[in-house]
């Protein structure tokens, strides 16, 4: 076990680590988030340009041959062959570039065609732009949003001639040629803008007059606008050639191009300039730049503060995080630039987006849509090791986590072990009324719900059918409301017309809430709108109703028995046994009582976050058990540990910043409490959907969920209605 007191001999200026981390985060977002989108836009634009041109020629082949004969003949090709080859390249190459399928081959052909058009037919800047952008794709290949990236690994393993060699060439091109391509693009952009700036400088009086009468810039005096344009066009190209502050250097040039386009002269060339400038701004300058060199030198000089840590560096402090929920993942990601080793332990190998778990239970989504492999999340964070296993205890004195017989030493420990169902002392109810906290729960509930309709179809006894067609949800919080609304939508729409004996639309859905209103964390008016919306969907809402018994026959509410074969529990939760491991103070729900820095009292290096912690970091109020609260807690603990490891200034005490509450009720119905803004109905439903899609972990999950929702909404059908194992609800 290493000591957290060991600090590097050479310390950078106090401001440098945070500035460096911030800049790396910004560039990572640009390269990993914004660049794929721009890459797709460029490919679509170039691809459709060639595709449309080819289709026009294809629609009039005789005219295309005539043009190849008289307008732009190629001396070394027969006109008919030239026309046919040109049409084939434009149609097939344009389509392939647009799809990102066989991108390099298509880009090479299109680049050659662009240069031929430029040299033998008509010299236009547009043709050079085509050649440069196609040349870029020939060298770099397409971005993540392409079929090549989707199928690339599988294609590389095909047992076909030359496939392995093509894969090697593509890898060589990415590693060796892309830096030179970026350097060439930077130099070409710099030459054009510098020449324009030099022209302005040589005749500055004329430049000022042009800015005064020809292309006036709103809100700027002509002399100032002329001077600023001249300075930027002379200075920014120098930075571009050197690759120094490259991304920042592109910003004035992008702004100037936009100003010219919208205030002076609309021209297609400006669009291509924006594409190239955006490529450099988002993709970065490459290795052949001073930016790359300075970054490398800084990381060499201050490796502990600025360098990227690796897990196998045993000299680093060891941070153990138990639980890969929202809080644990946020804590591990927050320590990506910290000189430490991280071990992330979870019982499962996936991170679950729990807010959408009820949609798996009601056959709207597949489990894979809301779960991402933990190792995939941290693939590019080399200081994280992921262990799959069940933690059985914590040795506070020995500073170790117990993983069965194995001991995992730690210098800092973060507990984000989540919560489980609470039956208020009636654990015997669990077998009859399962809760919803993990994927096995969701698939079991899905099996019970779908099996109920199957059993109702199979029986000829009307009373028995009514029992199978009665669904009772206990608990009127967000999970209970969402379950009730989703089951009602499934019964009324998703199963319509599929049964002959049973009638799913007549299913009885009962929501039982012990309090006087639904959704207690929400304002009363939104609670009332929720009740009305559920009742309009066919849900029976029982308020001020306390469940006194649950068994195989159904539910007893007060003194009234309700025969039901399917009972779902959404009434309460209890923290994991992490508090028992530590032997520390816990609240009634079993959560560890932590101080204002989310630290376990009596320790200096053990922290609890999310549903594991009881914190009053919300303006003196208890922090709610919500995903945003867990993420904020994990990020805070990461900043605290980083400060303690690097000797920096510790953050102020933890304060939870509440962004609002969201709950969906059913089809085009939801409620949103955003503080001063309160929404309900379709607008809240759209907002709820956008937020949940945005916060899914991977792009694949976002696309998959959006497609599933669109399909279900437009067709009233749900495609994930599998009963994966028998649901013996009478005994289970």
Which residues are designated catalytic? Answer: 482
> What is the torsional sign of CA 360, 365, 367, 369?
negative
For the chain, the first-to-last Cα distance in angstroms comes to: 47
Return the number of other C-beta atoms located less than 10 Å from residue 632's C-beta: 24
Helix (H, G, I), strand (E, B) or coil at 109: helix
CB atoms within 10 A of CB 356: 23
| SS3 call for 63 | helix
Query: Among 90, 87, 102, 95, which Cα is nearest to 137's?
Result: 102
Helix 178-202 with 246-263: angle, nearest 10 deg: 50
Cα 172 to its chain centre, rounded Å, is: 30
Structure tokens at 319: 């941070």
Instruction: Tell me the C-alpha distance between 232 and 236, whole Å.
Output: 5
User: Which has the closest alpha carbon to 716: 678, 666, 676, 663?
Assistant: 666
Long-range interactions of 175-178: CB distance < 8 A, separation 24+: 177/139, 178/139, 178/140, 178/286
How would you label 202-220 residue by residue, b for 16+ Cβ within 10 Å and e otherwise? eeeeebbebbeeebebeee
Is residue 665 helix, strand or coil? strand
φ and ψ at 394, to 5 degrees? Answer: -135, 130
Element (DSSP H or E) covering residue 702: helix 699-715
Please tell me the distance from the alpha carbon of residue 263 to that of residue 242, in angstroms, as a whole number: 31
Cβ atoms of 659 and 628 closer than 8 Å: yes
Residue 595, classed as helix, strand or coil, is coil
Cα 132 to Cα 82: distance, rounded to the nearest angstrom: 23
Q: Which two tokens stand for residue 683?
A: 């607008």
CB atoms within 10 A of CB 710: 10
Q: What is the dihedral of CA 619, 621, 625, 627, to 10 degrees?
A: -10
The span from the CA of 690 to the CA of 685, in Å, is 9
Token pair for residue 569?
A: 């529990």
Check: CB of residue 403 under 8 Å from CB of residue 596. Answer: no
Burial label for 251, CB within 10 Å (0-12, 13-18, 19+), is middle
* Alpha-carbon span 229 to 256, nearest angstrom: 7
Q: Which of 572, 640, 650, 573 is nearest to 606 (CA)?
A: 640
Q: Pick from 248, 246, 251, 254: which is nearest to 288 by CA? A: 246
Q: Which candidate, 19, 24, 22, places its Cα nearest to that of 380?
A: 24
Q: Which residue has the tokens 């496939």?
A: 163
The dihedrals phi and psi of 627, each to the nearest 5 degrees, come to -60, -45
Q: Rounded to whole angstroms, how far apart are CA atoms 637 and 560? A: 49
Neighbours of 715 (CB within 10 A): 11
Sign of CA dihedral 291, 296, 297, 303: positive
Angle at 280 between CA 275 and CA 284, to 5 degrees: 145
Give 605's contacts (C-beta < 8 A, 6+ positions apart).
Answer: 4, 399, 410, 411, 412, 413, 599, 644
């Amino acid at each position: 076990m290493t000591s957290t007191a060991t600090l590097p001999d050479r310390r950078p200026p106090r401001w440098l680590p945070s500035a460096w981390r911030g800049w790396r985060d910004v560039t990572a977002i640009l390269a990993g988030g914004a660049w794929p989108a721009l890459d797709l836009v460029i490919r679509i634009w170039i691809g459709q340009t060639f595709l449309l041109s080819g289709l026009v020629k294809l629609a009039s082949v005789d005219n295309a041959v005539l043009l190849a004969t008289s307008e732009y003949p190629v001396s070394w090709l027969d006109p008919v062959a030239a026309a046919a080859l040109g049409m084939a390249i434009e149609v097939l190459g344009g389509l392939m570039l647009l799809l990102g399928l066989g991108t390099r081959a298509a880009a090479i052909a299109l680049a050659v065609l662009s240069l031929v058009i430029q040299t033998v037919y008509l010299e236009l800047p547009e043709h050079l732009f085509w050649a440069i952008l196609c040349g870029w794709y020939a060298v770099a290949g397409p971005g993540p949003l392409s079929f090549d990236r989707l199928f690339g690994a599988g294609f590389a393993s095909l047992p076909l001639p030359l496939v392995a060699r093509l894969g090697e060439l593509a890898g060589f091109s990415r590693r060796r040629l892309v830096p030179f391509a970026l350097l060439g693009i930077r130099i070409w952009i710099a030459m054009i803008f510098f020449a324009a700036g030099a022209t302005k400088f040589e005749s500055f009086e004329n430049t000022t007059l042009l800015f005064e009468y020809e292309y006036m810039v709103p809100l700027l005096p002509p002399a100032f606008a002329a001077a600023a344009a001249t300075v930027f066009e002379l200075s920014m190209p120098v930075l571009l050639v050197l690759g120094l502050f490259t991304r920042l250097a592109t910003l004035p040039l992008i702004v100037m191009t936009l100003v010219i386009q919208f205030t002076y002269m609309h021209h297609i060339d400006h669009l291509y300039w924006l594409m190239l400038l955006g490529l450099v701004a988002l993709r970065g300058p490459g290795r052949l730049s001073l930016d790359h060199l300075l970054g490398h030198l800084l990381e060499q000089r201050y490796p502990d503060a600025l360098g990227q840590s690796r897990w196998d560096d045993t000299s680093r402090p060891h941070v153990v995080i138990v639980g890969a929920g929202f809080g644990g993942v946020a804590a591990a990601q927050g320590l990506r630039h910290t000189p430490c080793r991280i071990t992330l332990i979870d019982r499962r190998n996936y991170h679950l987006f729990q807010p959408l778990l009820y949609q798996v239970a009601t056959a709207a989504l597949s489990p894979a849509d809301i779960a991402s492999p933990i190792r995939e999340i941290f693939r590019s964070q080399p200081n994280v090791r992921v262990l799959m296993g069940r933690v059985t205890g914590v040795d506070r004195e020995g500073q170790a986590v117990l993983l069965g017989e194995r001991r995992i030493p730690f210098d800092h420990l973060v507990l984000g072990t989540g919560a489980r169902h609470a039956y208020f002392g009636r654990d015997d109810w669990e077998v009859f009324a399962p809760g919803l906290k993990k994927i096995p729960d969701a698939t079991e509930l899905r099996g019970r719900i779908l099996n109920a309709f199957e059993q109702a179809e199979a029986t000829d006894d009307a009373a028995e059918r009514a029992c199978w067609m009665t669904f009772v949800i206990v608990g009127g919080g967000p999970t209970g409301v969402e379950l009730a609304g989703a089951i009602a939508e499934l019964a009324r729409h998703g199963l319509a017309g599929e049964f002959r004996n049973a009638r799913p639309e007549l299913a009885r859905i009962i929501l039982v809430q012990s309090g006087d209103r639904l959704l207690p964390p929400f304002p009363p008016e939104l609670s009332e709108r929720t009740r009305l919306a559920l009742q309009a969907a066919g849900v029976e809402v029982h308020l001020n109703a306390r469940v006194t018994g649950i068994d195989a026959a159904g539910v007893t509410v007060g003194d009234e028995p309700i025969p039901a074969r399917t009972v779902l529990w959404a009434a309460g939760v209890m923290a994991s046994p992490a508090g028992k491991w530590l032997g520390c103070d816990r609240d009634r729900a079993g959560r560890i009582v932590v101080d204002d820095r989310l630290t376990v009292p009596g320790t200096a290096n053990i922290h609890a976050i999310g549903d594991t912690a009881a914190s009053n970091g919300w303006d003196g109020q208890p922090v709610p058990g919500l995903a945003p609260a867990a993420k904020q807690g994990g990020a805070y603990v990461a900043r605290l540990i980083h400060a303690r490891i690097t000797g920096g200034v510790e953050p102020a005490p933890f304060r939870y910043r509440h962004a609002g509450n969201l709950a969906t009720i059913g089809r085009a119905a939801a409620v949103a409490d955003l503080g001063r803004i309160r929404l309900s109905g379709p607008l809240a439903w759209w907002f709820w959907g956008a937020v949940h899609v945005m916060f899914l972990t991977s792009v694949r999950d976002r696309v998959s969920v959006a497609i599933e929702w669109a399909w279900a909404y437009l067709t009233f059908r749900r495609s994930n209605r599998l009963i994966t194992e028998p649901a013996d609800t009478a005994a289970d």
